[in-house]
Amino acid sequence: MSDLLITNVDVLTNEGVLKNHAIVIENGFITAIVKDSEVEKAKESAKGVLDGKGQLATPGLINTHTHIAMGLFRNYADDLELMDWLETAIWPTEAKLNDEYVRYGTQLGIAEMLRSGTTTFSDMYFFMNTTAEVVKETGIRAVLSRGLAGVSPTADQALVENADLFRTWNGFDNDRIKVLLGPHAPYTCPDAYMEKVIALSHELNCGIHMHLSETKGEVENVIKATGKTPIAHMHDLGLFWNTTLAAHCVHVTDEDMDIMAEYNVAVAHNPQSNLKLASGIAPVPEMITKGITVGLGTDGSASNNNADMLEEVRLAATLHKARLYDPKAIPAQAAWNMGTVEGAKALGYTDLGVLSKGYRADIVLYDVSGMHWMPRYNDLAALVYSANSSDVNTTIVGGKVLMKDKVLLTIDEEKLRAEITKAQAYFSN
């Protein structure tokens, strides 16, 4: 007996779109995708049935890099480059954060993501135990890391918190939550601190999530100090022994990319944030050619300024075409894969990001009745080049329905609005 049956739906698979099919879900996994006519009987015994008529089922999008509670600072400080933005605007304001604000900031981000078709996010922030609680309550999937800045007065305490986060939450609910260590960046983590992070990663057998080679200035400073690029330097320190998720990698050399390929360093490409902070454009087609796994991320909503992954998929598909004067630089399918299955791989999931038997049932239903969906020559191209994230009608994670007919079932949006309005007043002072 299935836990959930999605009937009458068009299903985006690796073999193309299967029209008028049914998706059978048991224990959080897809157990079959069959013609709708074959599930007539099963409809009676299923615990739940969702009618997918007029909708397109796709895998949920995977946001491989964000600081989700930063939605609190959306449109708070714009038109600055990274170091200015962090030092003059963001860090002083983040100093006023506490568990309560992070709770509502996280809810805000999760509400936005579920509404726009994202079912997994990878986060680096602080007050992460609260973030984990909100992830647990809301039902989304998340890979969490406690941001670790060696230059902070609380640097050693942060390591203890990240270790506690790992011990408490890693593997929760059949890997609905996983935990990484989050050394922030080369410019906030001196070598002696990185050595502590690496020692802890060995002790826990834990992966790493770090900002690397985001700006020209960062790379120049690391070269000045060590004679090596940030990637080469981190490699020499021994950072890449386990799994590593490197955010940005905008300014990487050919040799850097060889190291990344050899040590399975996966990349979180954040095109919108890189454009807005004037960081540059990462050499993504070159990375893919080298065999590096590249997923997509929004980065925080204060440098984007939203958590809409469909925008990142579209940018990934278009940006590199223009940079290289090559319309095939990142084809639609490659951009979609980066937003789904490649992002899943970057986060260490081998059974996520595709609608197929045996995969996790993280599924989004798009309402395809809008004029911008007509005509329907190619639904994949429509998702990458024409869809709106507001077309998302239903969002499912691990077989649980978290949004149905555009109503969030695990978040009280009325209360959330009131709390965010209060937070705005607090951060405005």
Residue 124 contacts ligand SIB per CB under 6 A: yes
CB of 4 to ligand SIB, least distance (A): 36
Q: Is 202 annotated as a binding residue?
A: no
Rounded distance between C-alpha atoms, residue 351 and residue 245, angstroms: 18
Picking from 256, 320, 260, the residue whose alpha carbon sits closest to that of residue 284 is: 320
Q: What are phi and psi of 61, to 5 degrees?
A: -75, 155
CB of 184 to ligand SIB, least distance (A): 5
**What is the per-residue binding string for ligand SIB in 61-100, x denoting contact by CB under 6 A?**
------x--------------x---x---x---x------
> At which residue do the structure tokens 């802890």 appear?
200
Rounded distance between C-alpha atoms, residue 302 and residue 305, angstroms: 5
Find which of ligand SIB, Zn ion, none residue 90 binds, CB within 5 to 8 Å per kind. Answer: ligand SIB
Find which of ligand SIB, Zn ion, none residue 152 binds, CB within 5 to 8 Å per kind. Answer: ligand SIB
Answer for which of 59, 300, 339, 353 binds ligand SIB (CB under 6 A) is 300
Q: Is 67 annotated as a binding residue?
A: yes
Pair of tokens at residue 374: 């007509």
Instruction: For the chain, report the end-to-end CA distance as a whole number of angstroms.
Output: 56
Q: Is 299 annotated as a binding residue?
A: yes
Q: Is 146 annotated as a binding residue?
A: yes
**What is the per-residue binding string for Zn ion in 368-407, x denoting contact by CB under 5 A?**
----------------------------------------
Q: Is 351 annotated as a binding residue?
A: no
Q: Which is nearer to ligand SIB, 28 or 109 (CB)?
A: 109
- CB-closest chain residue to ligand SIB: 147
Q: Is 235 annotated as a binding residue?
A: no
Q: What angle do CA 26, 27, 32 make, to 5 degrees?
A: 25
Number of residues that bind Zn ion (CB under 5 A): 1
Answer for which of 218, 256, 299, 362 binds ligand SIB (CB under 6 A) is 299
Q: Is 323 annotated as a binding residue?
A: no
Biggest CA–CA distance in the chain, Å, is 69
Asked if 244 and 265 touch (Cβ cutoff 8 Å), the reply is yes
Residue 303 contacts ligand SIB per CB under 6 A: yes
Rounded distance between C-alpha atoms, residue 364 and residue 115, angstroms: 10
Rounded distance between C-alpha atoms, residue 119 and residue 389, angstroms: 13
Find which of Zn ion, ligand SIB, none residue 125 binds, CB within 5 to 8 Å per kind. Answer: ligand SIB
Asked if 229 and 220 touch (Cβ cutoff 8 Å), the reply is no
Which helix or strand (DSSP H or E) is residue 399 part of?
Answer: none
Q: Which is nearer to Zn ion, 141 or 209 (CB)?
A: 209
Residue 184 contacts ligand SIB per CB under 6 A: yes
Residue 211 contacts ligand SIB per CB under 6 A: yes
Rounded distance between C-alpha atoms, residue 277 and residue 274, angstroms: 5
Rounded distance between C-alpha atoms, residue 107 and residue 66, angstroms: 14
Q: Which is nearer to ligand SIB, 18 or 86 (CB)?
A: 86
Answer for which of 36, 94, 218, 299 binds Zn ion (CB under 5 A) is 299
Long-range contact set of residues 79-82: C-beta below 8 Å, sequence gap at least 24: 80/277, 81/215, 81/277, 81/278, 81/279, 82/214, 82/215, 82/217, 82/277, 82/279
Q: Binders of ligand SIB among 248-287, rule CB under 6 A? A: 273
Transcribe 286-335 into DSSP letters.
HHHHTT--EEE----TTSSS---HHHHHHHHHHHHHHHHT-TTSS-HHHH
Picking from 19, 140, 94, 17, the residue whose alpha carbon sits closest to that of residue 8 is: 19
Three-state secondary-structure class, residue 35: strand
Find which of ligand SIB, Zn ion, none residue 256 binds, CB within 5 to 8 Å per kind. Answer: none
Rounded distance between C-alpha atoms, residue 375 and residue 178, angstroms: 41
Answer for which of 14, 88, 98, 154 binds ligand SIB (CB under 6 A) is 154
Please choose, out of 38-46, 123-131, 170-178, 255-263, the segment that lies near ligand SIB by the rule CB under 6 A: 123-131
Answer for which of 36, 214, 312, 342 binds ligand SIB (CB under 6 A) is 214
Q: Is 94 annotated as a binding residue?
A: yes
CB of 277 to ligand SIB, least distance (A): 6
Binding residues for substrate: 94, 146, 184, 214, 299
- Residues interacting with Zn ion, by CB under 5 A? 299
Binding residues for Zn(2+): 65, 67, 211, 299
- Residues interacting with ligand SIB, by CB under 6 A? 67, 82, 86, 90, 94, 124-126, 147, 149, 152, 154, 158, 184-185, 211, 214, 273, 299-300, 303
